[in-house]
Amino acid sequence: MNLHGSSGQSEPKSEPPPTIASSPPTPKLKISPRLNRWSMTRALRSGGVKIDRPQIQRSDNSPRRQLTEEADKKTSEIEGGDDVEITAVKSIYLVSDGTGWTAEHSVNAALGQFDDCGCSVNTHLFSWVEDEEKLIEIIKQAAKEGAMCFYTLANPSMAKSAKEACDLLGVLSVDILGPIIEGIASHLGVSPSGLTRGARGRVKTLNDAYFKRIEAIEFTIKQDDGTLPENLSKADIILVGVSRTGKTPLSTYIAQKGYKVANIPFVMGVEPPKTLFEVEPRKVFALKIELVVLQAIRRTRAKTLGVDREAENNYSGFDLVRKELDFASKIYAKNPGWAVIDVTNKAIEETAALILRLYHDGSDSSTSVPCISKRY
């Protein structure tokens, strides 16, 4: 497994979504002693993962009824109580009655904990699952494939159905959104709407925040790569750094969060625009990176561009890269008000988090632990 952030792109053609016919044989493994030790520690947190099988009333004539019959056939597979055997199937189903991005984001983050396990995992994201029939169909497919199921279902009745169906069919399931909504409901003392994201009248998209975000994205794209330095004073955040320090992807990532970002490339021997030295230094974030890592990134870049040998040396040659980094460092040293951020081996999300924390920290020193505050 090799992942970082939410950057992986699916490969629909090389990896078709699962079908019942193609479900692989499922070798069985006992839980490893290492896992057991870890599970005991985790049990202190939340009581561990349970596979419950609630009683379903036979008089129910919903799609759940046929489900109970199917479940009976499967009973032998899920017998065994707490000592249930865990199959080695590595499919994960994500089911949502909205976009599914919350499930994808959370599971992606959690998968980061299994980077070195040597496992290969497939996720299948089902979005806009807004009726029970479709929900049950997906869970049946998960059961046949030996997949586990994460769900984010705003509609409480759908969430209940998902849990019941997963339990009946022996599909390990986790409700991602439910506990968070419950927590907030308890905290605020009000009930959630239960409306899905797409429900008419639920989302008020055309508010100030929407327009502000759009403006931030458009501003950021226009200022990319040092264009329009006369607009630097209008930026919330300005990124500077030599080529291939990730200024462009960082800019667009931060812009999605509603900040106007400008970025200025530092090129050996070229003076940065004067306006850069006129803006508030706390808005400027100077990116640095380890020499060998930058050289490796530039070599890959040169290959992608298909440039010739000489041009490649001018771009990724050791001496030249070192000199360019020195050139940038000297400018950074002359501007002690700029925060210098090391981007070596950091994912875009990580650098963005560091920058935004510093940005907000710099603007208010009244709290002992820096944080990013938002009002809803």
- Enumerate residues 351-370 that contact a second copy by CB under 8 A: 352-354, 357, 359-360, 363-364, 366-370
Q: Are strands 28-29 and 86-87 parallel, antiparallel or unpaired?
A: antiparallel
In this chain, which of 60, 65, 119, 337 binds a second copy, going by CB under 8 A?
119
Under the phi-then-psi rule, with left for phi > 0, alpha for psi from -120 to 50, and beta for the rest, what region is 184? alpha
b/e per residue, 171-199, with b = 16+ CB within 10 A?
Answer: bbbbbbbbeebeeeeeeeeeeeeeebbee
Of the candidate spans 56-64, 242-250, 265-273, 311-319, the one that interacts with a second copy by CB under 8 A turns out to be 242-250
Query: Which positions from 305 to 334 touch a second copy by CB under 8 A, shown as an x/- string?
Result: ------------------------------
Q: Residue 276 Cβ, how far from a second copy at the closest point, in Å? A: 21
Distances (CA, A) of 367 to 49, 224, 282, 325: 38, 34, 18, 35
Q: Residue 333 Cβ, how far from a second copy at the closest point, in Å? A: 25
Q: Report the run of H or E that residue 125 belongs to, with start and end.
A: strand 122-126
Lookup result for tokens 């799609």: 63
In this chain, which of 65, 66, 72, 184 binds a second copy, going by CB under 8 A?
184
Of the candidate spans 193-201, 270-278, 322-330, 332-340, the one that interacts with a second copy by CB under 8 A turns out to be 193-201
Query: Which positions from 21 to 60 touch a second copy by CB under 8 A, shown as an x/- string?
Result: --------xxxx-xx-xxx-xx-xxx-xx----x------
Q: Residue 196 Cβ, how far from a second copy at the closest point, in Å? A: 10
In this chain, which of 56, 70, 74, 174 binds a second copy, going by CB under 8 A?
174
Q: Residue 16 Cβ, how far from a second copy at the closest point, in Å? A: 5
- Tokens standing for 163? 């849990």
The answer to the question of residue 190 lying near a second copy (CB under 8 A) is: yes
The answer to the question of residue 198 lying near a second copy (CB under 8 A) is: yes
Of the candidate spans 65-73, 168-176, 269-277, 284-292, the one that interacts with a second copy by CB under 8 A turns out to be 168-176
Question: For the chain, how many residues are written?
Answer: 376
Nearer to a second copy, 112 or 337 (CB): 112
Distances (CA, A) of 152 to 3, 7, 107, 168, 197: 22, 21, 11, 19, 11
Size of the residue set binding a second copy (CB under 8 A): 165
Kindly identify the residues of this chain, within the stretch 213-232, that bind a second copy according to CB under 8 A: 213-218, 221, 224
The answer to the question of residue 4 lying near a second copy (CB under 8 A) is: yes
Q: Report the run of H or E that residue 287 belongs to, with start and end.
A: strand 284-288
The answer to the question of residue 138 lying near a second copy (CB under 8 A) is: yes
Of the candidate spans 56-64, 71-79, 210-218, 315-323, the one that interacts with a second copy by CB under 8 A turns out to be 210-218
CB-based contact 229:260 (threshold 8 Å): no
SS3 assignment for 154-188: CCHHHHHHHHHHHHHCCCCEEECHHHHHHHHHHHH
